[in-house]
Amino acid sequence: MKPYSVDLRQKIIETYENEEISQRQLAKRFRVAFSFVIKILKQYRSTGNLKPGISTGRPLKLNQSQQEKLKVLVEENNDWTLSEYQSELEKQTEVKVSRSTIDRMIKRSGLTVKKKALHPTEKRSSRVQQLRLDYWKEIEGIEPTDLIFLDESGCNLALTRMYARSQCGLRAYGSKPSKRGQNVSIVGAVSLNGIVSSLNILGAYDSLTFEAFVIRHLVPKLWKGACVVMDNCTIHKGDVIRQAIEKVGARLVYLPPYSPDFSPIENIWSKLKSYLKKLEARTYRALVDGIQEGFATINLQDIHNWFTHCCYCTSPF
């Protein structure tokens, strides 16, 4: 709570000095606590000053050095429990504090609990790091407007939002079908100019169905100089696919392994699934319609932002 203003304090003093009024009546008139009136009168008589005092609060239980050790401890072991931090900090500093104090100090350092973004251990290998570097060298001369990113995703009849609100201490409940049905697979391709092509099928894509999508739906929309980028999934590696793309003057480039962060279309799937979770389609017709509606919510500004986020330098939208 903010301290009362000096102006209000002055009015209380002036009223008390100029009128025959009790301290309790004074508190009632100015709608302040009786204890505050006593306090401000005492302060004025002893110091002549009406400014609110500076609140220093309780002294911190950990000094600056100990707080720094705690911060380093959290950064190096970011998935520990409060009890584990408490125990290790005591070993290092010989100071024991409560878990609530540990929690406050961690929050004071700007560190918050969040879901881990996991990635394969192999991604850190020197081989994969070199392949990731080679990829950027391969496409460095290609204009961002010529890049087309292709990928698959999937959805089903049991999609729903997984987070909800409830009273403190109570679970948040929801419901979804126990049988989600057969998966609906979506393949899509995106460029800076929008969704180039997309197709849904019931079940999973295999080499034949993927080749059919590329030849019948993607290739007719390519242009000379276009560059189709996709991951190195087995069904993407057929010679027929490369030949069909190169026949129209385009080229095919594969993403390095463990590199979905290089593909803007991953963000499209995220927004599309967010829409489908909101929709909660429970029939295949509703799900297919929802997929088209979800694609319609994706605008050019979204796509531009996602390309930029993935480090494909683009001019301002």
Is the CB of residue 146 less than 8 Å from the CB of residue 222? no
Same-domain pairing of 71 and 30: no
The residues, any chain, with a CB within 8 Å of residue 207's CB and separated by 6 or more, are 234, 235, 238
Residue 85 maps to a domain: yes
Whether residue 76 is found in the same domain as residue 180 = no
CATH code, 263: 3.30.420.10
Torsion of CA 238, 243, 249, 251, to 10 degrees: 30
Are residues 151 and 299 located together in one domain of the fold? yes
Q: What is the pLDDT at residue 55?
A: 57
Q: How many domains in the chain?
A: 3
How far does the chain reach from its first CA to its final CA, in angstroms? 45
pLDDT in tens, 143-200: 999 999 999 999 999 999 999 999 988 999 999 999 999 999 999 999 999 999 999 9
- Provide the token pair at 37: 């009136």
Residue 54's pLDDT is what?
Answer: 64
Q: What is the 3-state secondary structure (H, E, C) of 281-315?
A: CCCHHHHHHHHHHHHHCCCHHHHHHHHHHCCCCCC
| Residues 269, 202 share a domain | yes
- Secondary structure (3-state) at 56: coil
- Domain span at residue 74 reads 64-108
Task: Output the pTM of the full model.
Answer: 0.73
- Over its C-alpha atoms, the chain yields an Rg (Å, rounded) of 32
| Assigned token pair, 197 | 């092509």
What's the pLDDT score for residue 316?
Answer: 74
Main-chain dihedrals φ then ψ at residue 184, nearest 5 degrees: -105, 120
- Whether 293 and 144 map to the same domain: the answer is yes
Q: Which amino acid is at 119?
A: H
In which element (H, E) is residue 317 found? none
Shared domain check, 233 and 148? yes
CA distance 21 to 34: 13
Q: Which helix (H) or strand (E) holds 199?
A: strand 194-202
- If asked whether residues 89 and 219 sit together in one domain, one would say no
Residues 298 and 196: their CA atoms lie apart, in Å, by: 13
Asked if residue 150 and residue 100 are part of one domain, the reply reads no
Which residue has tokens 């295999």?
Answer: 206
Scanning the structure block, which residue is given the tokens 């009790």? Answer: 22
120 near 258, Cβ under 8 Å? Answer: yes
Q: Are residues 104 and 151 in the same domain?
A: no
Q: Look up residue 148 and give its DSSP letter.
A: E
Residue 264 and residue 149 in contact, taking contact as beta carbons nearer than 8 Å: yes
Same domain, yes or no, for 41 and 82? no
The residues, any chain, with a CB within 8 Å of residue 163's CB and separated by 6 or more, are 172
Is there a contact between 277 and 283 (Cβ–Cβ < 8 Å)?
Answer: no
- 20 and 89, same structural domain? no
Residue 59: per-residue pLDDT: 67
pLDDT of the chain, 317 residues: tens digit per residue: 678 888 899 999 999 888 889 999 999 999 999 999 999 899 888 888 888 876 555 667 888 899 999 999 999 999 999 999 999 999 999 899 999 999 999 998 888 888 888 888 999 899 999 999 999 999 999 999 999 999 999 999 999 999 999 998 899 999 999 999 999 999 999 999 999 999 999 999 999 999 999 999 999 999 999 999 999 999 999 999 999 999 999 999 999 999 999 999 999 999 999 999 999 999 999 999 999 999 999 999 999 999 999 999 767 76
Q: Is residue 14 part of a domain?
A: yes
Token pair for 146: 């010529």
| Whether residue 215 is found in the same domain as residue 169 | yes
